[in-house]
Each structure stands twice: as structure tokens, then as C-alpha cells.
Amino acid sequence: MLHAQLEPIYDDIVQRNRGESEFHQAVREVLESVGPVLVKHPEYAEQKVIERICEPERFIVFRVPWEDDRGEVHINRGFRVEFNSALGPYKGGLRFHPSVYQGIVKFLGFEQIFKNALTGLPIGGGKGGADFDPKGRSDREIMRFCQSFMTELYRHVGEHTDVPAGDIGVGGREIGYLFGQYKRITNRYESGVLTGKHLSLGGARVRTEATGYGCAYFVDEMLAARGESFEGKQVVVSGSGNVAIYSIEKVHQLGGTVVACSDSSGYVYDENGIDLDLLKQVKEVERERIGVYADRRGGAKYVQDGSVWDVPCQVAMPSATQNELTGDDAATLIRNGCTAVGEGANMPATPQAIRAFLDAEVAFGPGKAANAGGVATSALEMQQNASRDSWSFEFTEQRLEAIMKDVHARCFATAEEYGMPGNYVAGANIAGFTAVADAMLRLGLV
């Protein structure tokens, strides 16, 4: 429930951002947590910090014309929301997917503000992308799109201003093309302008693995807080992209057994544990549907169009996309004995699902905390670029693990402080919000 003081603020945000349901959802989820903060810090209300934090500092929309291999001209729409820079330069990924529109970009950018604040690193919040679908496109078509996209975006980004990275549809290949065009236009080898780069371009080790590894570390800390661990637990991970694959890898290293994963066509159940090498071959190398995994893995079962959340488990890690885990799915997981959930994707659980988990006292790690490992390692990449340095895999992973443990500790302690012990949603929202709000007050009315 919203604090009475926040109801008119939320209603005004909905009116000012009509039709942007994902953004409305993200804002409400934060506002439902910060009512007690206003009681403790009336200066936030006096200075209208909430109204300011919910309004982007800058929102950029632009045309992206490009030509396919047949010579046909296409027009896409590009976006960049520079949401909040109170703690540092805007930082957040680029998403290339047909579903991208300004409501999704703003929801992702809003979440990014608090996620970045929770890392304790000096980065603000931003996000961007385009309604371009890279699926089925040749390397040269993707290169031409990325070059056209950066031809407009370059004037808005920079290592001290706004530092994009990858997201859905934007991996190392796309980041390379984007960086190449930025370098060509600006005549500067400004490595820190983009993160998620190939190692040869100044990228960071562990960046590919970071979001999945970080989510597993966070869930491990939630389990430890209850006197448990991954050891001996059955785990279900939705998705089979970058976040899912490396969540699976780290869960296995921590002693858990991932028995199911999915893609948009259905899911596979493998009671002996997902064969990670085979999954990587099918999804990262061959880019096939998840059913191919079951065809090649003896004993694995493929369920077309099924819900991966029907598989009994003790730990669930939604790692595909927003609103993929519904209230009904949450009820099924709880009934089947799930005691911990860590969001690897951005806002994958619906509000109804989150409420069900909290009511059932399931340890629930929201995405702004649990999947902060990706942006944290991007910030480590920025540090390396700034110092013209390159760190080892082991050292970078140690830094990532320490950051995720600190994120967990900050969320846990904040929830305790505000009388909601074990509520990581409230802990994450309040800790992230107060860090940004305090910085905004110190900067003055800007």
C-alpha cells in the first residue's frame, strides 16, 4: 500500500506518463517501500525529492535509418534516458528488441538508478535501446544499424557523462560496432565510453559472467542469512541466455543443481542437472531452440510452451524478461517447496508474485539488488579503462563477490532498520533511494 502522502504523487506520475505501464509498475514498487523514509526524513518531501527522482533529467528519442543486405531502407526508433546523475555519470545498458518503447526504457532506467546506488560505486542511472530486432540479421546488417544508431547517440555519451553497455540483443559484437563508430566520429580512443567491450578493446574479465554470477552470490547470501546454502538444493532458472547460463554455472560451483531452464518455446527438465557445456553449445554457439538440448541429452525432457515454474525446486531464479513470473506461478513454486527467489532479469516477477513470496516468507531478492553484478562489473571496467589497466579474472571476480555481499548486507541491514526484517524488496528500495536522495539534496535544486 502507498503512504497517504505518496498517493497524489503516484497519480500525477501516471497521468504525466500515460500508457507506460512498465514504468508505472516500477515506480509504484519503489514508492510502496519509501513511506517510512518520509517520516524519518521530512526534508525529502519538502524538497520534492520523489517528484524529481521520478522525472528523467533527459530523455532522448531519435530516428535510426539503415539499409539491409538487399538494399531496402528501414527506419527504427532509438532511445536513451539519462535518468539521474546525482551519484555519477549515467550508467545502463542498451536493449535492441521489437518490444522496446519509451515506457520500457524508462522502467529500466528508473530501476537502474537504485541498482547502481546499491553497488556503492559512483555511477548514476540511465538506459537505452531501439525497437530493432537483431534476430535473423547478418553481421553486416547489424553493423550498419549500430553505426547509424551511434551516429546520433555519440553526441550524448562520454566517459564522464553517460556510459552505455549491453542488454538484451546487445552483446560484445554490437558493443564493438558501436565503439568503432564512436571512435571514428570523435577521433578519440575513449575506452570508458562503453562497457561490455571485448578484452582487446579494453573490456573487463568476468563481464560476460557478471550478472549471472552476481545473482548466484546474492542468493547464496540470502540462504546463508537463514543458516542454509545451495548445497543439495534443486534450482530452476528461467531463460537460457547470458544471465541464465552464468547463473547456472555459479550455482553448480556453489553446490546447487539446476534441473530446468527455458526459452520462449518451452523448457527442459534434466533431473541429473543441466549439462552446461551442451547448453552453451546449443544456445551460444548454434543459437538453437532449447528443445535441441533435450534431443541431444539423454534423460532430459522438453516441454513445449510449458511453464518452467511448474518444476519443483527449492530455489528459483527468473532470468529471462520482465513480468515472466506471475502470481499463479508464485503460488505453484511456494506449494512445491520453493524457499528462495533471486531475480536475474529486470522486474521478472509481477507485483502479485512478489506479494505472494513476501507473505509466504520466501527469501526474495529483487532485481535491483540481485542482478546488480552486471553493472558493478561495468563500473570495474570503467576503473580499468580510466587507469589504462587490466585485471585478472580471479581478481575481478573477487571484487564482484565482495560487491554482491555488500549489496546483500546493505539491503538486509536497511530492512532491519526500518522494522521489516528479511524484506529485501523494502531494504533494496530504501537503501538505494536514500543514497540517491541524500546526494540530490547536497547538489542543490538542479
Taking the model in full, what pTM does it have? Answer: 0.93
Q: Which residue has the cell 532485481?
A: 367
Q: Of 198, 232, 253, which one is at a domain's C-terminal end?
A: 198
**CA–CA dist 215, 318 (Å, integer):** 10
The pairs formed by 185-190 with CB atoms below 8 angstroms and a separation of 24 or more are: 185/150, 185/151, 185/154, 186/154, 190/158, 190/159
Is the residue at 235 inside a domain?
yes
pLDDT of residue 342: 98
**CA–CA dist 116, 114 (Å, integer):** 5
Residue 69 burial by CB count (10 A; 0-12/13-18/19+): exposed, middle or buried?
exposed
Is the residue at 15 inside a domain?
no
pLDDT of residue 258: 98
Is the residue at 229 inside a domain?
yes
Q: Of 151, 175, 198, which one is at a domain's C-terminal end?
A: 198
pLDDT of residue 1: 80
pLDDT of residue 124: 98
CB 181 within 8 A of CB 150: yes
Mark whether 184 and 232 lie in a shared domain: no
Cβ atoms < 10 Å from Cβ of 388:
8
Q: What is the 3-state secondary structure (H, E, C) of 40-78?
A: HCHHHHHCCHHHHHCCCCEEEEEEEEEECCCCCEEEEEE
**Considering its fold, how many domains does the chain have in total?**
2
Mark whether 264 and 355 lie in a shared domain: yes
Length of the chain in terms of residues written = 446
Q: What is the 3-state secondary structure (H, E, C) of 418-441?
A: CCCCCCHHHHHHHHHHHHHHHHHH
What one-character-per-residue DSSP string does 233-298 give? -EEEE---SHHHHHHHHHHHHTT-EEEEEEETTEEEE-TT---HHHHHIIIIIS---THHHHHHST
First to last CA, the chain: 30
Mark whether 215 and 362 lie in a shared domain: yes
CB 333 within 8 A of CB 309: yes
Is the residue at 324 inside a domain?
yes
3-state secondary structure of 169: coil
Mark whether 143 and 244 lie in a shared domain: no
Mark whether 361 and 331 lie in a shared domain: yes
Is the residue at 220 inside a domain?
yes
Mark whether 145 and 260 lie in a shared domain: no
pLDDT of residue 356: 98
Mark whether 225 and 357 lie in a shared domain: yes
Active-site positions? Answer: 127
Mark whether 362 and 232 lie in a shared domain: yes
Mark whether 192 and 218 lie in a shared domain: no
Q: Which amino acid is at 169?
A: G
Side-chain-side CA neighbours of residue 181 (13 Å):
20
Q: Of 323, 349, 370, which one is at a domain's C-terminal end?
A: 370
pLDDT of residue 94: 98
The pairs formed by 380-383 with CB atoms below 8 angstroms and a separation of 24 or more are: 380/204, 381/192, 381/195, 381/196, 381/197, 381/202, 381/203, 381/204, 381/207, 382/123, 382/159, 382/163, 382/192, 382/195
- pLDDT means per 10 residues in the chain (446 residues)? 92 97 96 95 96 98 98 98 98 97 97 97 98 96 98 98 95 97 97 96 95 98 98 97 97 98 97 97 94 96 96 98 96 98 96 97 97 96 96 98 98 97 97 98 97
Cβ atoms < 10 Å from Cβ of 275:
16
Mark whether 106 and 170 lie in a shared domain: yes
125 bridge partner residues: 84, 91
Dump pLDDT digits (tens) for 281-310.
Answer: 999 999 899 999 999 999 999 999 999 999
Q: Which CATH number is 220's domain given?
A: 3.40.50.720
Is the residue at 50 inside a domain?
no
Dump pLDDT digits (tens) for 1-57.
Answer: 898 999 999 999 999 999 999 999 999 999 999 999 999 999 999 999 999 999 999
Q: Which CATH number is 107's domain given?
A: 3.40.50.10860
What residue numbers bound the domain in which 134 lies? 56-198
Q: Which residues contact 241 (CB under 8 A, 6 or more apart)?
A: 168, 283, 319, 320
Cβ atoms < 10 Å from Cβ of 250:
22
**CA–CA dist 202, 188 (Å, integer):** 14
124 bridge partner residues: 90
Mark whether 184 and 103 lie in a shared domain: yes
Mark whether 148 and 244 lie in a shared domain: no
Is the residue at 391 inside a domain?
no
Is the residue at 342 inside a domain?
yes
